[in-house]
Chain A
Amino acid sequence: MINERNLPILATLLVFIMLYGFGMYEYKGFRDTLVFSNLLTDNAFLIITAIGMTFVILSGGIDLSVGSMIAFIGVLMAYLISNTGMHPLFAIGIALVVGVAFGAIMGVIIAFFEIQAFIVTLAGMFLFRGLAYLINLDAVPIDHPFITGLYDIYVPLPGRGGLTFIAMAMLVLLALGILIARRTRFGMSVYALGGDSHSAALLGVPVKKTIIKIYALSGFYSAMSGVIFAIYTGSAYPLAAVGVELDAIAAVVIGGTLLTGGVGYVFGTFLGGMIQGIIQTLITFDGSLNSWWTKLAVGGLLLFFILLQKGIVYWVKKRSAA
């Protein structure tokens, strides 16, 4: 059923199909499944980060720490594997626990001291970047056989494409995110909080508990993204993923989530991340444009979606007043 709540995500889907259709029409190489599977792999870490960000933005908050978290987790993993000789599986486990813990700490500060998420996560952003440098100043390779083994897992698809481990992990995390958002009480509490936090409290939503869980979840997803990023690049670098938090926010908004919270879908975020990837791929296929055109296109799309949402909100208000 088409209702006003689904309009933004439908617009996102339309933009996705149009861009992809344009690519298939214009370039022969675009029609191969390889392009699609590469999109999944190359944008996996961005989409995973953005899924966590979706919950934060749905609740009316923001998390600026995710980019630094990716770098920090990567460096931490590299340290644990190379310097202590730990098995990568344990290292990943520890990295995830650390990510969740740091997210939860930020959540506690936001919930109990009632400080804006913007400033708390900004502090987190500097802090994690600093911690990454504390461990390691330079880029280091992660060349454990287990990691390269993961990287090499590959399920071929018809055509030249195939699903990498990274792509599959992203899809699993996407499915998990969709389930959490729409099929758990926690998920509905997130929507309620973003819709109207005062009413949510009166309706019996455990506000503080939910806020802490939201940032812990975002911590989990960005730590996961850090792990994926480390496998993807096979290295760790304290300056990695600078500005990814902003790309993630852009993916969430282009995916149709209302920046003021309460309305949006995790699947939209997936499309939002993929759209950014398609734009990049199209520019690569073109060959005559430099990569900064990506930023231009993403900026334009972002503006379009924000205006679209404003328009819808205005329209709904006008209709319910009549």
Chain B
Amino acid sequence: MSDLVKDALEVKETSAVKETVEAAQSAVRPLLEIKHLSKSFTGVQALNDVSLQIQQGEIRALLGENGAGKSTLIKVLTGVYPRDSGEILLDGSLISASDSGHAQRLGISTVYQEVNLIPTMSVMENLTLQHQEKTFGLISWKKAEIRARELLAQVGLDIDPLRQLDTYSIAIQQLVAIARALSTQAKMLILDEPTASLDSDEIKQLFDLMARLKSEGLGIIFVTHFLDQVYSITDSITVLRNGECIGTFKTAELSRSDLVSHMVGKSLEDLAPTAHDHSIKRERTELLQLNNVGKQRYLQPLDLNIAAGEIVGVAGLLGSGRTELCELAYGSVKPDQGEVTLSNHSLTKSSLRRAIQVGMGYCPEDRKQDGIVAELSVRENMILALQASKGWWSPISIAEQQKLVEEMIQRLAIKTPDMDKPIGELSGGNQQKVILARWLITHPALLILDEPTRGIDIGAHHEIIQIIKELCEQGMGLLVASSELEELVMFAHRVVVMKDHHKVSELHGNEVSEQAILRTIAS
């Protein structure tokens, strides 16, 4: 069958005309066929008329930026979400999975980024859960152990199946998860960012396994953020953007710059190589210094300096290490090597409270999860960081709080009927401003913003960028991570480009342009 596919492909390829892979493959029956799939959530079109086909023995990369619809597509495939319209065919027959267990019985197995096994059970118990063989109505652990060893051998693991799962590394747990996924006669294997927490040797081990499964005729969907991995293991690439299928391409025929253009929805040619005026006018006084700061399995060591009155942008695709850089710089994740200093105070081993006291501020990426306390009022949310840095034993009087908060509401033009309204009832843009205000009243020397404009409307978007510029003029140093290159280019003096969890380049002054950033990411 897979030979047939190859023949079919070659015939078409030689026919000079540039056809898409899909057209070429229609000659044989695909293993998985998705036809005109749509799915929306309360008005948001998460998937819009997505069609794709995957052959036996094909490794397909599924790529896209945040909100592209990758995880929705996977969840519809595995029955976690019902679909609105469209058809899914596996091996030529129409399927409709009702839950993850049903999908497994149909032949679609999924391995998630977070290992979805039971950490407190043994490897054997995990592998055989719900599928234990019985003798006289009771589970036979002798048979289970034999079965577990078979499954482990299948993924090339030589470990003791009787030991508890969480005594093994994440990499091994991931392989155990794959072994389990294969135990249910899988035809289609979906790997959802399995490599995010693996090191290079472990990734190689995983890729060897994927290559073997491919040769056995399994279809594999591989979701990842690492472009290097896409090019080293996949046969073809499907790019999603804003819930639409941008196209399916043969990996060998798609250049990196084209791929990045498809993902972000901008082509290099369209972008003017012009740069704004990115020079700093004042004298350089260093604020934040990262010296060879890194953490294993998290971020490769890197250097970074930020001076007063300077905005440093962090660019990169989703999962490239933008947030990781922010977390390490702020100290909410402690680096395992390198030195962090802020205005000559060493923060490498300090508590967050100390970091805030010497002038650090951080607005995290996920506003709902890490930023706001939805039930607390605007005032209480705003006062949190200041109170924390003062310590809980020296409360700030209500009058003083009201004065500070009133000032900030004016200064940032926060739209709220009064300061005692629960912050959860405000719009996204105003929530973001409250979080900004929270840090501004602590008078930070350095402010780290991770995706400050995510999910807010255009008006508020503009205002926040203005605030960022003003803060910079007042002498604050800013580290801003953003997936929107356009906005980075507008205000950043320098841009650090991240890729596969390391810093690939730093663009200065006139080098900063959308085109240059995209080129660096794609290189």
Interface residues of A (CB under 8 A from B): 1, 3-5, 179, 182-185, 188-189, 191-192, 194-196, 198-205, 258, 262-263, 316-317, 319-320
Contacts and interface: CB of A to CB of B under 8 A. Distances in A.
Contact of B167 (A182, A188, A198, A319): A319
Given A189-B130, A200-B118, A203-B180, 11 more contacts: A5-B164, A188-B129, A191-B125, A196-B117, A196-B120, A198-B116, A199-B116, A204-B100, A204-B101, A204-B104, A320-B167
A320 B169 contact: yes
A258 B104 CA distance: 31
Given A188-B132, A188-B139, A203 B116 contact: yes
Contacts of B104: 204
Interface in B94-147: 100-101, 104, 112, 115-122, 125-126, 129-130, 132, 138-139, 141
B520 to A, nearest CB: 34
A316 B164 contact: yes
Nearest to B138: A183
A184 B138 contact: yes
22 contacts: A1-B162, A3-B162, A183-B139, A184-B138, A184-B139, A189-B130, A194-B120, A195-B119, A195-B120, A196-B118, A198-B116, A199-B115, A199-B118, A200-B118, A201-B100, A203-B101, A203-B118, A203-B126, A203-B130, A262-B118, A320-B166, A320-B168
Given A203-B130, A204-B101, A320-B166, A191 B116 contact: no
B15 to A, nearest CB: 45
Contact of B121 (A191, A201, A258, A316): A191
B353 interface: no
Nearest to B130: A204
Contacts of B132: 185, 188
Interface in B353-386: none
A201 B80 CA distance: 11
Contacts of A316: 164, 166-167
Interface string B315-351: 0000000000000000000000000000000000000
Given A183-B139, A185-B139, A196 B164 contact: no
A195 B121 contact: yes
Contacts of B163: 3
B44 to A, nearest CB: 24
A3 B139 CA distance: 22
B396 to A, nearest CB: 36
A191 B118 CA distance: 9
Question: Chain A CB within 10 Å — which of B112, B115, B166 has the most?
Answer: B166
A203 B139 CA distance: 18
Interface string B162-202: 11101111000000000010000000000000000000000
B121 A205 contact: no
A205 B130 CA distance: 7
A185 B163 CA distance: 19
Given A316-B164, A316-B166, A262 B138 contact: no
Contact of A196 (B119, B138, B167): B119
Closest 4 CB pairs between A and B? A204-B101, A195-B118, A262-B120, A195-B120
Given A185-B132, A195-B118, A202 B100 contact: yes
A287 B163 CA distance: 47
Contacts of A201: 100
Contacts of B139: 182-185, 188
Interface string B146-159: 00000000000000
Nearest to B110: A202
A4 B129 contact: no
B130 A185 contact: yes
Given A203-B130, A320-B166, A320-B169, A262 B100 contact: no
A258 B180 CA distance: 26
A195 to B, nearest CB: 4
A317 B165 CA distance: 11
Nearest to B168: A320
A39 B112 CA distance: 50
A4 B100 contact: no
- Residue among A195, A196, A263 having the largest count of chain B Cβ atoms under 10 Å: A195
A268 to B, nearest CB: 15
Nearest to A204: B101
A316 B165 CA distance: 11
Contacts of A200: 118
Q: Max chain B CB contacts within 10 Å: which of A184, A188, A194, A263?
A: A188
B210 to A, nearest CB: 21
B129 A205 contact: yes
A269 to B, nearest CB: 17
Contacts of B126: 203
A179 B140 CA distance: 12
B120 A263 contact: yes
Nearest to A193: B118
Nearest to A321: B169
Nearest to B101: A204
A263 B112 CA distance: 24
A302 to B, nearest CB: 21
Contact of B117 (A183, A188, A189, A199): A199
Contacts of A319: 167
Contacts of A263: 120
Interface in B292-333: none
